[in-house]
Structure 1
Amino acid sequence: MKKIYFGAVFTLLSFLTQAQEDFDHWSIDIGGGLHQIGSTITPGYSANILGQGSMGFRYMFNEKFGLRLDLGYNSFSADENSTADFKSNYYRASLEGVVNLGNLLNFKSFTNRFNLLAHVGAGAASLNVTEPTDNGGDLMYVMNVGLTPQFKLSNRFSIFLDFNSLIHYNQEDNFDGGANTSGRESNISLMNTSIGLNIALGRNKQSADFWNEELDEEVIDGELVSLKKRLDSAEKEIAILKTKESGPNKELIMTELDERYVKKNEINKYANVVSGSNVDFIRNLLNSGYINVYFDTNKTKIQEGSLNSVNYLKQFMIDNPYVNAELIGYADETGTVERNKTLSQNRAKMVFDVLVAAGINPTRLSYFGGGEDTSVAKDARQLARKVTFKIK
């Protein structure tokens, strides 16, 4: 049994460095507390309820589903009400599926501190009776079912309560050393109640248990400070454009626009619409996808190089108070369709929030998630993680 313990721990620890993305996938939990023997104890015998501990190594595939290796130990001895003395030790190891009910049921809509996990799995266990006689170890199969409420202490630590029931198959001995005379092959033999600490492993600011895609206030404030600095430097050039009495100066407009979105030799494509003012020209650049806001993989934080794009739309709407804008978010093809739909909408919402904070009336803006942008190949997915504009 000890070989199973150490082998499983070593295998899991060898993969701890593989976690990626914007939340920590790996975590360790350590707990201990009370136990209650179920049907597999000889009549007249009773055991102390204190004396069990567990350790878990968990990997979350995403914010809702994961796997956990559960290692547990129980120590049983007779209490004052038992008709005879006995001592036994119980070891178990099981692999469990984990469901984050808190994220599945959107707990984050009303709390940032409480969460609820459910877990179910199967494995092996060994009951080693030492008194009154040594049984040499009783090997059996075990199924584990439980619920784990959590309370977040910080981004790295949370405390938990765990309630689980252990169903044993082919258990030959009772926990007191007597023969298991039950006619059933399976018994609800043991119930554990634990309190413990969960520790997230990784360098990200959030764990999978309490993951929230919404950016915190500090991130939004940082975006706004950077945006305001860029707005200040752009005001003079915009003022020059507005005071031009003659037709639009294409070179001056292109100086104002970020070179990453349109090349000088592409100006000719719009020669037929730049007639009396620069409004139609800039409108077409916005609507035709030359000016977009880009994001990193699985992020809703605007790339620093894309803040100019938000600036262009903000200034255009200030200069033309009769226009409205629609913000359309996109994601690349990695991840599930449902998650990409949510991610694309949250990216559009991020641009919406920055524009509103910069002074644009929210009634002039609308946003939605366009889901996956399948128009680009695998090697160009960075171009799919974006928000585009439609001027109305």
Structure 2
Amino acid sequence: MRKSLLILSFSVLLFSTFNVKAQEEKTDEYNKWTFELNAGQSKGIKPYSIGYFGSDPGKFFGGVTINNYNGGVRYMFSPKFGLKLDFGFDRLKNLSDESLEFEMQNIRIGFQGVINGARLFDIQESLGRFSFLFHGGVQVAQMTPKMGINEGRDEWNGGVMFGFTPEFRITKNFALNADFTMLSNVRQHFNWDGAYSDANNNLAGSMYTISMGVSVSFGAHKIHGDWAVLTNKQQEEIAALEKRVGQIENNMTDSDQDGVPDYLDVEPNSIAGVAVDTKGRMVDINQNGVPDELEKFLNNTYVTNETYNSGNNNAEMMAKFINDGYVATYFDFNKKQPTNVSTEGIDFIRTYLLNNPESTVDIIGHADEIGKTPYNDKLANDRANNVKEILVKAGIDPKRLNVVSQGEDASVDKDSAGARRLVRRVTFKVK
């Protein structure tokens, strides 16, 4: 009955591994070859003659001589399933004074299916450097007693084997492991103590091994095949779609709320409420540097038709317009030079100063809150100095220009990229 259960268990394991392979999408993004080498303790469970028995497995940790060596070469057809050709060498002895003396040599070759359990249960990310394998298959072994009346007599037998192997990755392609393997022979005539049974009396022996060792992964990829981070085609498509959606959302941002998304907006810092064209530029038909809608508002608010041409009223109106912050020039993140589309503000100040030669202007630099305050103070000052240099090269006496740094502007939400664009600027104050 026990023999039948072992064979059934092995059949289920093989079916499961091949089923996993069939469902796994093919990918080449991992190292497929792994070499393993282990050493530890093996114990024959049964059969024994009267007066003989195996060692106490607890003594393995008390300094018992290593009596098992095993290793193998593994090839993973998919991230979850592979096959392994392995070997084992056992030297079974009585390790207790209560047992009669015996010594049995067991040399085996096995062919097994291997399942990466961490990937099978999709828990590899949570395990980190840990992983674990299931393995099972068939094995053929040669038993040779090394003492007693049957010393030197060989017998070939065969059966099934299955086991469990926890792993811990040390370096990119090198890992430690501990392995527990159970072996059951469906044909065996030797007892583990070396006694031989009649050929018609099949003893169906069993043994187990506990060992520790290393595994080394080979291939072109930098990480051990059992830990390679993999994404299937569907996951890659979903990630690409999410990236495209994110890009669309970013493109549709309208920082200056003028109805034109930033990716189409030539002037993404237009004054709120001022009419813009299809490219986001404030409408200025007469090309005087003042948006037409704002110009009309100023005319209606500050001057009458009769006094519009009066120099004093016009100068006062423009000075108030400047001092109220309607004229500004803007900067990209961490940049000291104005953006190409915001030089109109500088041109407005130049025109005002040329028409009002007695006036002077403070050039006030600002920065957003991203970064350290001392750095932002200097950045704001550099921005103001660069605007001053443009005005000087455009014919304005530097004595009429005073640079002021106001550093970080905390008036907007620093977590909003759109809002931060509005405070990376230089404003002006007429004196």
**TM-score w.r.t. length of structure 2:** 0.46
Listed as ranges, the gaps of 5+ residues in structure 2 are 1-26, 56-64, 255-431
Q: 2:181: which partner in 1?
A: 164
CA offset digits 1:191-232 (Å, max 9, x no partner)? 101111010011211232112127xxxxxxxxxxxxxxxxxx
1:235-250 correspondence to structure 2 within 5 Å: none
Q: Post-superposition shift, 1:23?
A: 1.1
Deviation string, structure 1 residues 298-349 (Cα, Å, up to 9, x no partner): xxxxxxxxxxxxxxxxxxxxxxxxxxxxxxxxxxxxxxxxx43234334445
Q: Which moved more, 1:27-36 or 1:102-111?
A: 102-111
Matches within 5 A, 1:238-317: none
User: In structure 1, which of residues 90, 111, 120 is the aligned counterpart of residue 106 of structure 2?
Assistant: 90
2:237 corresponds to: 344
What is aligned with 1:122?
138
Unpaired runs of 5+ residues, structure 1, are 1-19, 215-338, 362-392
Please state if 1:145 is matched with 2:155.
no
Residue 73 of structure 2 corresponds to residue 57 of structure 1: yes
- Rate the CA distance shift 1:359–1:167 in 2: closer, same or farther, 3 A: farther
Distance in structure 2 (CA, Å) of the matches to 1:173 and 1:356: 75
The superposition leaves residues 246-286 of structure 1 with CA deviations (integer Å, 9 ceiling, x where unpaired) of: xxxxxxxxxxxxxxxxxxxxxxxxxxxxxxxxxxxxxxxxx
For the 8 Å contact 1:118–1:147, the answer to whether it is kept is yes
Match of 2:95 among 64, 72, 79: 79
Counterpart of 1:23 in structure 2 is 30
Alignment-mate amino acid for residue 128 of structure 2: N
Q: In structure 2, which of residues 16, 21, 39 is the aligned counterpart of residue 32 of structure 1?
A: 39
With a CA cutoff of 8 Å and minimum separation of 6, indicate the structure with the bigger relative contact order.
1
Distance 2:70 2:208 in 1: 13
| SS of match in other structure, 1:172 | coil
Cα distance in structure 2, aligned partners of 1:24 and 1:104: 18
* Change over 3 Å in CA distance of 1:353–1:129 after alignment to 2: farther
The residue number in structure 2 matching 1:176 is 193
Q: Structure 2: how far apart are the matches of 1:359 and 1:32? A: 63
CA 1:349–1:57: 2 relative to 1, 3 Å: farther
Pairwise CA distance, 1:172: 0.5
**Contact map agreement 1:78 1:84 (CA 8 A) in 2:** yes
2: CA distance, partners of 1:355 / 1:197: 49
Aligned residues of 1:102 and 1:117 also touching (Cα < 8 A): yes
Distance across 2 between alignment mates of 1:126 and 1:354: 66
* Corresponding position of 2:16: none
Q: Distance in 1 between matches of 2:175 and 2:248?
A: 36
Q: Structure 2 CA distance, aligned partners of 1:153 and 1:353?
A: 37
Cα pair 1:114 1:152 within 8 Å, conserved:
yes
Equivalent residues of 2:136, 2:161 under 8 A apart: yes
Question: What is the CA distance between 1:36 and its match in structure 2?
Answer: 1.9
- Give the Å deviation of 1:355: 9.1
Which amino acid is the alignment partner of residue 38 of structure 1? I
Distance in 1 (CA, whole Å) between partners of 2:131 and 2:214 is: 14
Closer/same/farther in 2, CA of residues 23 and 172 from structure 1, 3 Å limit:
same
User: How big is each residue's C-alpha offset from its partner over 1:133-179, in whole Å with a ceiling of 9 and x where there is no partner?
Assistant: 32521110121110111111122011111111000021010121113
Q: Is the 8 A contact 1:62 1:208 kept in 2?
A: no
Q: Please tell me whether Structure 1 or Structure 2 has the larger radius of gyration of its CA atoms.
A: 2
Q: One-letter code of the match for 2:41?
A: L
- 3-state SS of the aligned residue for 1:345? helix
Counterparts in 2 of 1:45 and 1:61: CA distance versus 1, 3 Å: same
Q: Offset at 1:107?
A: 1.6
Determine the C-alpha separation between the residues in 1 that align with 2:247 and 2:201.
Answer: 64
- Say yes or no: does 1:213 pair with 2:106: no
The superposition leaves residues 10-32 of structure 1 with CA deviations (integer Å, 9 ceiling, x where unpaired) of xxxxxxxxxx9321000001001
Task: Write the letter of the residue equivalent to 1:132.
Answer: G
- Counterpart residue type for residue 155 of structure 2: D
- Count of residue pairs the alignment pairs up: 218
2:233 is paired with a residue whose SS is: helix
Q: Residue 74 and residue 21 in structure 1: after superposition, are their counterparts in 2 closer, same or farther (change >3 A)?
A: same
Cα RMSD over matched residues? Answer: 3.1
